[in-house]
Amino acid sequence: MSQTLKAVRGTRDLLPPETELWNRIEATARRVFARYNFGEIRTPLFEDTGLFARGVGEETDIVSKEMYTWEDRARAQSEKPQSLTLRPENTAGVVRAYIEHKLGETGQLQKLYYIGPQFRRERPQKGRYRQFFQIGAEVIGPQSAGSESPLRDAEVLEMLATLLDELGIVGWTLELNSVGSSADRARYNDILRSALAALAPKMCQDCQRRAVTNPLRVLDCKVPEDQPIIETLPKIADSLDEESKTHFAQVCAALDAAGVVYKLNPRLVRGLDYYTRTTFEFTHGGLGAQNALLGGGRYDGLSESIGGPKAPGIGFAMGEDRLVLTLQAQEADPKAASPLFADAFVAPMANAKDAEKLKTINAAALALARELRRAGLRIELGEGSFRLKKSFEAADKCARRIVILGEDELASGVLTVKTFATGEQAKVSRAELATFLASPAGV
């Protein structure tokens, strides 16, 4: 017997009715982004590996151990194989597209959003998958377009607060920090490295490695025993130059003016190398260990690091899987999520032994269903050979009403409709049927 095939570890199928929730989240995001004048960008699911190595950073966990990378040999023999990678995030792809299409030459700010799958070889657990979905946006452009202004940071954060509220996410927290310019960060990295030289041997294995390769990442450590040590480390705020301090103060002032509540978190440095100045995360207590709903920040040097012009920018990526988990947990009983219900079940009725009549009534039922669907109704179509009892049982499971279409109804143009919630039975003319089915069907 052959082995049963299953979805690969860390990937999953999304089925109805849960996909309704996914669609609702995406529709809300598109609506909110449009109000802030963002347009959609769709970049390829895979890119040259070099984009992520240079853009995201060789030392990051993502690039050093989580990417799905392969050698593409399907090119001409004279060419060298190309190393390709499934995108682990979308900012690098958006900035590559910005450079490739010379979007900076418009002189305008580019405000782009994306919705789609990302791939990371992480250890799967609740809220962490190997294929997951992100909804993200970027504001990027030449300095002359105001791309470096702290107002852009504040506007993006205010938009996110609005989006989470409109999605109905209750109890989120915005955590905010500044990691300064790349020079500030380099200075701070050195300070941390010296401080860690004596402390790292008392810390976890990962921290011992990070203390050498990427000391900033020590601040991300979640191991409880390491926390008291981390608390004693120098703070990045003390390494910021005057310009970075002023920039951050202006972001905070604009948020205060707009009434967006935030919490300063000096340890928030984020895992990706390209961040400069403002970094942020929106967290939610209901998510457990994987508590970040979204993360983002400013990346003023990213375009140059992948060979483009100077193009400061700021962006974020929300974990759509985690938005879904949060919204499901907020509902009283997520298991009770109701299945999809059609407005009506069209039940053709014929004597199964009379093949001619069966054919006629089934065809008439398809025509009726077509008419109702074109009128905007959600319709389930039955089968003429079912006995009346079987049609009723099937209809009761998936629709609010049943419409009977037998020979008599076909001849008279008057249909029998039963509303399950109230038990009412009515005779409705075909001309009035769509309006009748669109009316409330009881509790």
Q: Select the span of 79-87, 141-149, 318-326, 413-421 touching ligand AMP (CB under 6 A).
A: 318-326
Binding residue (CB under 6 A) for ligand AMP from 38, 129, 274, 345: 129
Binding residue (CB under 6 A) for ligand AMP from 229, 317, 358, 395: 317
Nearer Cβ to ligand AMP, position 286 or 319? 319
Q: Packing angle between helix 182-199 and helix 205-213, nearest 10 degrees?
A: 140
Binding residue (CB under 6 A) for ligand AMP from 286, 312, 315, 319: 319
Nearer Cβ to ligand AMP, position 191 or 287? 287
Q: Supply 328's token pair.
A: 């499901």
Close Cβ partners of 227 (under 8 Å, ≥ 6 residues apart) = 221
| Residues 95/117, Cβ–Cβ less than 8 Å | no
Binding residue (CB under 6 A) for ligand AMP from 26, 48, 122, 158: 122
Q: What share of the chain is helix, strand, coil (3-state, %, to 5)?
A: 45, 20, 35
Closest CA to 317 of 282, 361, 354: 282
**Residues of span 280-299 touching ligand AMP by CB under 6 A:** 292-295
Judged by CB under 6 A, does residue 132 bind ligand AMP?
yes
Shortest spacing between CB 243 and ligand AMP, in angstroms: 25
Burial label for 189, CB within 10 Å (0-12, 13-18, 19+), is middle
* Rg of the chain (C-alpha set): 28
Other Cβ atoms closer than 10 A to 195: 17
Determine the Cα angle at 37 with ends 31 and 42, to 5°: 75
Judged by CB under 6 A, does residue 214 bind ligand AMP?
no
| β-bridge partners, 380 | 345
Judged by CB under 6 A, does residue 322 bind ligand AMP?
yes
Q: Select the span of 95-103, 240-248, 314-322, 350-358 touching ligand AMP (CB under 6 A).
A: 314-322
Binding residue (CB under 6 A) for ligand AMP from 51, 61, 67, 89: 89
Nearer Cβ to ligand AMP, position 180 or 297? 297
Q: Which residue is nearest to ligand AMP, using beta carbons?
A: 319
Given the rule CB under 6 A, which residues bind ligand AMP? 89, 120, 122, 127-129, 132, 134, 271, 292-295, 317, 319, 321-322
